[in-house]
Copies of this chain bind each other. A is one copy, B any other.
Amino acid sequence: MKGNVIVGQSGGPTAVINSSLAGVYRTAIDRGAKKVYGMRFGIQGLLDEQYVDLSKHIKNDLDVEILKRTPSAFLGTCRYKLPDIHENQDIYVKIFEILDKLNIECFIYIGGNDSMDTIKKLSDYAILMGKSQKFVGVPKTIDNDLALTDHTPGYGSAAKYIATSTKEVIRDGLGFSYKKKLVTIIEIMGRNAGWLTGASALSRGEDCDGPDLIYLPEVPFEIDRFVDRVRKLLEKKDVIVVAISEGIRTAEGKYISEFSAATDYVDAFGHKQLTGSASYLANVINQQVGCKARAVEFSTLQRSAAHLASRVDVNEAFMVGGAAVKAADEGDTGRMVVIDRVSDDPYQSATGIYDVHKIANGEKLVPREWINKEGTYVTEEFIDYVRPLIQGDSPCVMVGGIPRHLYMSSGRGKKGE
């Protein structure tokens, strides 16, 4: 490689998004990049010339290892959709001015569907204008809803956190059960896809019954039938645990969270928060069944718990970051690296590469046949698919009793810092 590399992160954070960043950095250096720049806050920050020289922040091999174990976007992310080229060419002119100035050869973007749209537009523009830069995307999302890749980096660690925490919540309930009935409703992320909520089933094993019911957004939710099921279950056992996606909704498309006006606030991206479904349903159980009910939200913890990351996930995230640099350096552009599952048992995976024009904006849901007929649990096929992704630990470097993270001194980065 003769020129430089620039890398950005986009969309929601994950526990391993920085492992991909570490993979990009390490491979870029190995392949002879003079400089590896990091965009602060993705393409939006780049437009304001917010970028850093990563070698000033990743100073040695220990820093690389700590970066791999640091959750949430080290560089910061954005949710910024580029306009179509014909709508506003000025933005493209500006971006390429910056890239030319920094002598960028490879542009790597770590993100979900929206980020692949950015890769697509920038590579199209480069080809159109005869620019030499190569643009390659690295998949990332806890939601696992990207098409064409077997799974997305970030999903395995979130699934491991959810499986472990669900098991701990189930144990917590068991201790209380004497002459008391208790229903616990766990709310898990996932607006449209139930991959995360389904992972709660991984808690089931020789030493744990797992949740009693699991509801994904892929199947319409009926409050009355839910109450009936809980009532029937309570005739047989005292302690019930239910896992629901935040995105469950009625056949008419009304989110369960909308039934409760309790949370009116919006998230960092201005989306109305879907939280509160579990809390609402706990109230319903309490009032209609007359039994003690409580809600547990895994909230933001499930996407940032690097202390419980899956080793498979950390390694794959690193691998796809490196593969993206290799692909761009070898001339690929307008593409996204994907993970192909080579074998289930023993689990093996390898990277592949796809045209982003085929990938962007398609949302991969849990197949209906991986959910039972009643829509109240996932099947063994689902579990067999996810189980390999949560294997292995990635022990943090503990300092003062808590995990050490790589830290970029505060502020948004200065021009060319």
A residues neighboring B (CB under 8 Å) = 9, 13, 40-42, 44-45, 50, 70-74, 76-78, 160, 163-165, 167-169, 171-180, 182, 184, 202-203, 205-209, 237, 259-271, 273, 275, 279-280, 282-284, 286-287, 292-301, 303-308, 310, 387, 390-393, 395, 398-407, 410, 412
Cα-based distance from A179 to B264 in the complex (angstroms): 22
Residues of B within 8 A of A42 (CB): 178
Given A180-B268, A265-B286 in contact, is the A307-B205 Cβ separation under 8 Å?
no
Residues of B within 8 A of A206 (CB): 407
> Is A265 within 8 A of B261, CB to CB?
yes
Cα-based distance from A12 to B282 in the complex (angstroms): 20
> Is A178 within 8 A of B263, CB to CB?
no
Residues of B within 8 A of A78 (CB): 178
Residues of B within 8 A of A401 (CB): 160, 163, 202, 310, 387, 390-392
Cα-based distance from A248 to B308 in the complex (angstroms): 31
CB distance from A158 to the nearest CB of B (A): 12
Residues of B within 8 A of A167 (CB): 402-403, 405
Residues of B within 8 A of A182 (CB): 268
> What's the number of copies of this chain in the assembled complex?
2
CB distance from A225 to the nearest CB of B (A): 16
Residues of B within 8 A of A169 (CB): 300-301, 304
Given A40-B178, A209-B410, A410-B209 in contact, is the A287-B269 Cβ separation under 8 Å?
yes
> Is A264 within 8 A of B292, CB to CB?
no
Most buried by B among A9, A44, A269, A282: A269
Given A265-B292, A282-B265 in contact, is the A405-B207 Cβ separation under 8 Å?
yes
Residues of B within 8 A of A45 (CB): 178
From B40, B261, B294, B403, give the contact of A164 (CB < 8 A): B403
The 6 closest A-B pairs by CB, nearest first: A41-B178, A390-B401, A73-B175, A207-B407, A72-B171, A172-B304
Given A76-B176, A169-B301, A171-B72 in contact, is the A406-B207 Cβ separation under 8 Å?
yes
Residues of B within 8 A of A176 (CB): 13, 76-77, 268
From B160, B207, B262, give the contact of A265 (CB < 8 A): B262
> Is A399 within 8 A of B205, CB to CB?
yes
Residues of B within 8 A of A70 (CB): 171
